[in-house]
Structure 1
Amino acid sequence: MKNFIATGNTLTITAEADIASGAGVLIGSIFGVATGPIANGAQGVINLTGVYDLPKTASQAWTVGAKVYWDNTAKACTTTVGSNTLIGIAVLAVGGGAGETTGRVRLNGAAV
Protein backbone atom coordinates (compact mmCIF):
# COMPACT_ATOMS: atom_id res chain seq x y z
CA MET A 1 0.00 0.00 0.00
CA LYS A 2 1.65 3.21 -1.20
CA ASN A 3 -0.17 5.60 1.14
CA PHE A 4 0.63 3.85 4.47
CA ILE A 5 2.71 6.07 6.79
CA ALA A 6 2.68 4.48 10.26
CA THR A 7 0.55 2.45 12.69
CA GLY A 8 -0.23 5.64 14.61
CA ASN A 9 0.68 4.43 18.11
CA THR A 10 3.40 7.07 18.39
CA LEU A 11 3.92 10.59 17.15
CA THR A 12 7.05 12.70 16.81
CA ILE A 13 6.49 16.15 18.28
CA THR A 14 8.50 19.32 18.81
CA ALA A 15 8.53 20.17 22.51
CA GLU A 16 7.24 23.59 23.56
CA ALA A 17 8.95 23.18 26.97
CA ASP A 18 11.22 20.61 28.62
CA ILE A 19 9.35 17.31 28.94
CA ALA A 20 10.38 14.52 31.33
CA SER A 21 10.31 10.89 30.31
CA GLY A 22 6.90 9.44 31.16
CA ALA A 23 5.23 12.86 31.40
CA GLY A 24 1.84 13.57 29.87
CA VAL A 25 1.93 15.88 26.86
CA LEU A 26 -1.01 17.77 25.37
CA ILE A 27 -0.57 19.42 21.99
CA GLY A 28 -3.81 20.88 20.71
CA SER A 29 -6.19 17.98 21.30
CA ILE A 30 -3.55 15.26 20.93
CA PHE A 31 -2.45 13.61 24.20
CA GLY A 32 0.47 11.25 24.66
CA VAL A 33 3.14 10.13 27.10
CA ALA A 34 6.78 11.02 26.42
CA THR A 35 8.92 7.94 25.68
CA GLY A 36 12.04 9.76 26.91
CA PRO A 37 13.10 13.24 27.96
CA ILE A 38 12.55 15.92 25.31
CA ALA A 39 14.33 19.27 25.55
CA ASN A 40 12.48 22.49 24.76
CA GLY A 41 12.52 22.96 20.98
CA ALA A 42 13.78 19.42 20.30
CA GLN A 43 11.89 16.61 18.63
CA GLY A 44 10.84 13.55 20.58
CA VAL A 45 8.34 10.72 20.54
CA ILE A 46 5.11 10.40 22.52
CA ASN A 47 3.01 7.25 22.84
CA LEU A 48 -0.64 7.78 21.97
CA THR A 49 -1.87 4.38 23.17
CA GLY A 50 -1.18 2.02 26.05
CA VAL A 51 -1.74 1.83 29.79
CA TYR A 52 0.19 4.22 32.05
CA ASP A 53 0.43 5.25 35.69
CA LEU A 54 -0.04 9.02 35.57
CA PRO A 55 -0.36 11.78 38.14
CA LYS A 56 -3.96 12.39 39.20
CA THR A 57 -5.88 14.94 41.19
CA ALA A 58 -5.50 14.20 44.91
CA SER A 59 -8.63 13.48 46.97
CA GLN A 60 -10.48 12.17 43.91
CA ALA A 61 -11.57 8.53 43.85
CA TRP A 62 -11.68 6.65 40.54
CA THR A 63 -13.66 3.58 39.53
CA VAL A 64 -12.67 1.17 36.78
CA GLY A 65 -14.04 2.43 33.47
CA ALA A 66 -14.38 6.06 34.55
CA LYS A 67 -13.56 8.60 31.84
CA VAL A 68 -10.23 10.29 32.52
CA TYR A 69 -9.40 13.82 31.41
CA TRP A 70 -6.11 15.75 31.29
CA ASP A 71 -5.94 19.01 33.25
CA ASN A 72 -3.18 20.77 31.31
CA THR A 73 -2.85 23.52 33.93
CA ALA A 74 -2.22 21.08 36.80
CA LYS A 75 -0.47 18.56 34.49
CA ALA A 76 -2.56 15.80 36.06
CA CYS A 77 -5.44 13.44 35.26
CA THR A 78 -8.91 14.06 36.59
CA THR A 79 -12.44 12.74 36.23
CA THR A 80 -13.71 16.32 36.08
CA VAL A 81 -14.79 17.31 32.57
CA GLY A 82 -14.75 21.13 32.64
CA SER A 83 -12.38 22.43 29.98
CA ASN A 84 -10.17 19.33 30.32
CA THR A 85 -9.34 16.96 27.44
CA LEU A 86 -10.61 13.37 27.41
CA ILE A 87 -7.56 11.06 27.23
CA GLY A 88 -8.84 7.60 28.18
CA ILE A 89 -10.35 5.48 30.93
CA ALA A 90 -9.33 4.37 34.41
CA VAL A 91 -8.33 0.70 34.43
CA LEU A 92 -7.68 0.45 38.17
CA ALA A 93 -9.81 1.75 41.02
CA VAL A 94 -8.02 4.26 43.23
CA GLY A 95 -9.10 5.85 46.48
CA GLY A 96 -9.76 9.49 47.16
CA GLY A 97 -7.14 10.05 49.85
CA ALA A 98 -4.98 13.16 49.73
CA GLY A 99 -1.90 10.98 49.24
CA GLU A 100 -3.39 8.95 46.38
CA THR A 101 -1.96 10.92 43.48
CA THR A 102 -1.38 8.26 40.82
CA GLY A 103 -4.00 6.66 38.58
CA ARG A 104 -3.74 3.92 35.96
CA VAL A 105 -5.08 5.09 32.60
CA ARG A 106 -5.62 3.36 29.26
CA LEU A 107 -5.08 6.07 26.65
CA ASN A 108 -7.79 6.25 24.00
CA GLY A 109 -5.31 7.21 21.26
CA ALA A 110 -7.76 9.64 19.70
CA ALA A 111 -7.60 13.38 19.39
CA VAL A 112 -10.75 14.67 21.04
Structure 2
Amino acid sequence: MKNFIQPGDTLTVPAPSGGVDSGDVVIIGSLIGVAGSTAAVGVPVAVKTKGVFELPKVSAQAWTIGAPIYWDGTAGNATTVTTSNTLIGYATEAAANPSSVGRVRIG
Protein backbone atom coordinates (compact mmCIF):
# COMPACT_ATOMS: atom_id res chain seq x y z
CA MET A 1 0.00 0.00 0.00
CA LYS A 2 1.61 3.22 -1.12
CA ASN A 3 0.37 5.42 1.75
CA PHE A 4 1.69 3.25 4.64
CA ILE A 5 4.31 5.10 6.71
CA GLN A 6 5.14 2.87 9.72
CA PRO A 7 3.51 0.55 12.30
CA GLY A 8 3.38 3.43 14.81
CA ASP A 9 4.20 1.45 17.94
CA THR A 10 7.35 3.57 18.34
CA LEU A 11 7.46 7.22 17.35
CA THR A 12 10.34 9.68 17.44
CA VAL A 13 9.30 12.98 19.01
CA PRO A 14 11.11 15.94 20.58
CA ALA A 15 11.54 15.37 24.33
CA PRO A 16 9.05 17.57 26.20
CA SER A 17 9.79 20.29 28.73
CA GLY A 18 12.23 19.08 31.39
CA GLY A 19 13.50 16.28 29.16
CA VAL A 20 12.91 12.58 29.83
CA ASP A 21 14.65 9.59 31.36
CA SER A 22 14.39 6.12 29.89
CA GLY A 23 11.12 4.58 31.08
CA ASP A 24 9.39 7.91 31.76
CA VAL A 25 5.79 8.38 30.70
CA VAL A 26 5.69 10.95 27.89
CA ILE A 27 2.53 12.91 27.15
CA ILE A 28 2.52 15.36 24.24
CA GLY A 29 -0.99 16.58 23.50
CA SER A 30 -3.01 13.34 23.24
CA LEU A 31 0.04 11.22 22.35
CA ILE A 32 0.99 8.89 25.20
CA GLY A 33 4.01 6.63 25.40
CA VAL A 34 7.08 5.58 27.33
CA ALA A 35 10.54 6.97 26.56
CA GLY A 36 13.02 4.43 25.25
CA SER A 37 16.04 6.49 26.25
CA THR A 38 17.10 9.60 28.15
CA ALA A 39 16.91 12.89 26.24
CA ALA A 40 17.15 16.60 27.03
CA VAL A 41 14.26 18.89 26.13
CA GLY A 42 13.80 19.16 22.37
CA VAL A 43 16.16 16.28 21.54
CA PRO A 44 14.52 13.50 19.46
CA VAL A 45 13.56 10.48 21.57
CA ALA A 46 11.91 7.19 20.63
CA VAL A 47 8.63 6.76 22.47
CA LYS A 48 6.89 3.39 22.65
CA THR A 49 3.15 4.00 22.17
CA LYS A 50 1.93 0.42 22.57
CA GLY A 51 2.66 -2.31 25.05
CA VAL A 52 2.58 -3.19 28.74
CA PHE A 53 4.83 -1.25 31.09
CA GLU A 54 5.57 -1.43 34.80
CA LEU A 55 5.04 2.10 36.10
CA PRO A 56 5.25 3.82 39.47
CA LYS A 57 1.82 4.02 41.10
CA VAL A 58 0.09 5.52 44.09
CA SER A 59 1.10 3.02 46.77
CA ALA A 60 -2.16 3.29 48.72
CA GLN A 61 -4.33 2.18 45.78
CA ALA A 62 -5.41 -1.35 44.89
CA TRP A 63 -5.86 -1.93 41.15
CA THR A 64 -8.01 -4.55 39.45
CA ILE A 65 -7.40 -6.01 36.00
CA GLY A 66 -8.88 -3.71 33.37
CA ALA A 67 -9.14 -0.66 35.63
CA PRO A 68 -8.58 2.61 33.75
CA ILE A 69 -5.24 4.11 34.75
CA TYR A 70 -4.37 7.80 34.63
CA TRP A 71 -1.08 9.67 34.82
CA ASP A 72 -0.61 12.30 37.52
CA GLY A 73 2.04 14.54 35.98
CA THR A 74 2.47 16.51 39.19
CA ALA A 75 3.16 13.47 41.39
CA GLY A 76 4.84 11.52 38.57
CA ASN A 77 2.88 8.33 39.05
CA ALA A 78 -0.03 6.26 37.78
CA THR A 79 -3.36 6.41 39.56
CA THR A 80 -7.02 5.47 39.34
CA VAL A 81 -7.98 9.08 40.12
CA THR A 82 -9.45 10.83 37.08
CA THR A 83 -9.45 14.43 38.30
CA SER A 84 -6.80 16.58 36.56
CA ASN A 85 -5.04 13.46 35.23
CA THR A 86 -4.59 11.92 31.75
CA LEU A 87 -5.91 8.48 30.81
CA ILE A 88 -2.87 6.42 29.76
CA GLY A 89 -4.26 2.88 29.60
CA TYR A 90 -5.58 -0.04 31.62
CA ALA A 91 -4.22 -2.24 34.40
CA THR A 92 -3.16 -5.64 33.06
CA GLU A 93 -2.99 -7.31 36.45
CA ALA A 94 -4.05 -6.64 40.01
CA ALA A 95 -1.81 -4.39 42.09
CA ALA A 96 -2.02 -4.51 45.88
CA ASN A 97 -2.45 -1.73 48.39
CA PRO A 98 0.33 -1.03 49.26
CA SER A 99 2.57 -1.49 46.24
CA SER A 100 4.85 0.96 44.46
CA VAL A 101 4.38 -0.26 40.86
CA GLY A 102 1.63 -1.52 38.59
CA ARG A 103 1.45 -2.87 35.05
CA VAL A 104 -0.34 -0.77 32.48
CA ARG A 105 -1.28 -1.46 28.86
CA ILE A 106 -0.69 1.68 26.81
CA GLY A 107 -2.15 2.11 23.35
Q: State, as a whole percentage, how many aligned pairs show the same letter.
A: 49
After superposition, give the CA deviation of every residue in 1:50-85 in whole Å (9 maximum; x if it has no partner).
Answer: 011001112011011111111111121111111211
SS of the residue aligned with 1:32?
strand
Aligned alpha-carbon RMSD (Å): 1.1
Name stretches of at least 5 consecutive residues in structure 1 with no aligned partner: none
| TM-score normalised by the chain length of structure 2 | 0.92
SS of 2:22 mapped into structure 1: coil
| Deviations 1:28-66, CA, capped at 9 Å, x for gaps | 121100011112221111000001100111201101111
1:5 aligns with 2:24: no
Partners of 1:13 and 1:94 lie apart in 2 by 31
Aligned to 1:106: 105
Segments of structure 2 that go 5 or more residues without pairing to the other structure are none
Between the two proteins, the alignment pairs up a number of residues equal to: 106
Q: How does 1:50-61 map to 2 (within 5 A)?
A: 50-61=51-62
Separation in 1, partners of 2:30, 2:57: 19
Structure 1 stretches (4+) deviating beyond 4 angstroms? none
The 5 Å alignment of 1:82-101 reads 82-97=83-98, 100-101=99-100
CA drift at 1:24: 0.7
CA distance in 2, matches of 1:85, 1:18: 19
Equivalent residue for 2:31? 30
